[in-house]
Structure 1
Amino acid sequence: MVSSIELELAQLISSTFIHLDEGDRQLLKHFGLTTTQYWALVHLEDPQGRSLSELADLLICDKSNMTSVVDKLEKAHLAKRQRGKDGDRRYTRVILTEEGQALRHKVKSAREQMISTRLSPLGTPTLQALKQALQQSTTLLESQFASGEVPTLIERVISSEPLPVSCNP
């Protein structure tokens, strides 16, 4: 059975994420970007760009979704597709245009300032303690994925729960 502190903590982390994410969404809207487009700009910092597959992996989405995101960035003149090394047509990289680089810098700076403004009232000692606790939590959760433990945990949780009662007569 889960303890109340574990449930409360999971709910607080989820609530914190939702509030931070919604603030990001509202900020990015002023720049004409979605959250996914913003993160694509962030991950295209390297002048050599990235492949669609690399971007999809970094943004945790499938390549077809990434194609749509890059299409929109191209339409806005923020990114362009470029052939791979030595003109290899089998491999396409996405790179930012100068306009895309300038927007990435401007939006990243605005987002960082917003994060600071929103979280600084907590004070440095609280922020440091929170950071340490979240780092420990992240390390634990990442190790569960890396070791392949998560599917086993899911199966264990599912099999230990009673089946839902049917509402049909």
Structure 2
Amino acid sequence: MNTYTPAQVTAADELAHANAHLMDLLDHEPITYGAAYDQWQKEFDGAYTAHETAESLYRSLFPGDAPTAFDVLTHAPLTALRRASLPGVWTTGDKRFLAAPYAKRNTRAGRWTVEYWARGVLEDTPRPTVKLVATDREHVQQLIDQITWATTDGARPADIVTR
């Protein structure tokens, strides 16, 4: 099994999203020329540039032949941050963490909110188990790693017996 760095996982995620956005635009190309086509062309040009940038960064992180972004994301740790389907929201593969930057109008603008859902976000739990504030996305990943470690048997000495 391959082990990928957080930077490689993030780059794979960025490339996958850039590719998906580009393909979505291609699927919705207007049939006729006019204002709608001009707007689409502008969006397509931006998406194509974003895709090229993401692909360039992705390839720079792998010496020699790069695996597919799908392969990297498939073999990434379940607690690695990935984009969620909502813009600006990040989640983990195990769906126990949600993170997002605070809105610019919020008093905590520039920071991130992190929610930990012990049984997973998809459960019928009305509130997260823990809600934290982080300074940036890297800090979010550190909090996720610490919570994950703290909730495993490795966090407790072997001589302590839980009842």
What's the TM-score, normalizing by structure 2?
0.27
Q: Computing the radius of gyration over CA atoms, which structure comes out larger, 1 or 2?
A: 1
Identify the structure with the greater strand proportion: 2
Identify the structure with the greater helix proportion: 1
